[in-house]
Amino acid sequence: MRTLPALLPVAGFLLMSCAPKQTGTYPTVSVQDLKTAVDSGASVLDVRTQQEFAEGHIASAVNLPLDEVAARASKVPGDKPVYVICRSGNRSAQASELLKKAGKDVKNVGGGMNDWVAAGYPVTQ
């Protein structure tokens, strides 16, 4: 019986480590949310490499590879939300953080192009 109280902090730590990650100071949206936004004319920034972008992207997306985001953040519109996407959501989260710090209104697309394609949404080359 004395081991139960000793295990409670360990159990709490394990539960907390399984919790979803905080996405910083910007919202993360689903590809379904993005599809609705794209259909309404939203701006999409694809931060994958030029080669990845050329292999298939959202028709209205603009390519700005992650390694260029910090240097070119001033070129990203700041007057309306910009949806940031990559392959899986990792690079777009990094780009979203950089752009948010630069004062941009950004929304990270969780799951990225992997989820977009899996949902059957259109891709162009």
Q: What CATH number does residue 92 fall under?
A: 3.40.250.10
pTM for this entry: 0.81
Kindly state whether residue 63 falls inside one of the protein's structural domains: yes
pLDDT attached to residue 25:
85
Kindly state whether residue 8 falls inside one of the protein's structural domains: no
Q: What is the number of structural domains in the chain?
A: 1
Residue of 86, 93, 99, 109 with catalytic role: 86
86 is catalytic: yes
- Per-position b or e across 56-93, b if 16+ CB within 10 A of its CB: ebbeebbbbbbeebeeebeebeeeebbbbbbbbbebbb
- Per-position pLDDT tens, the chain of length 125: 555 455 445 444 443 433 334 446 899 999 999 999 999 999 999 999 999 999 999 999 999 999 999 999 999 998 999 999 999 999 999 999 999 999 999 999 999 999 999 999 999 99
Kindly state whether residue 4 falls inside one of the protein's structural domains: no
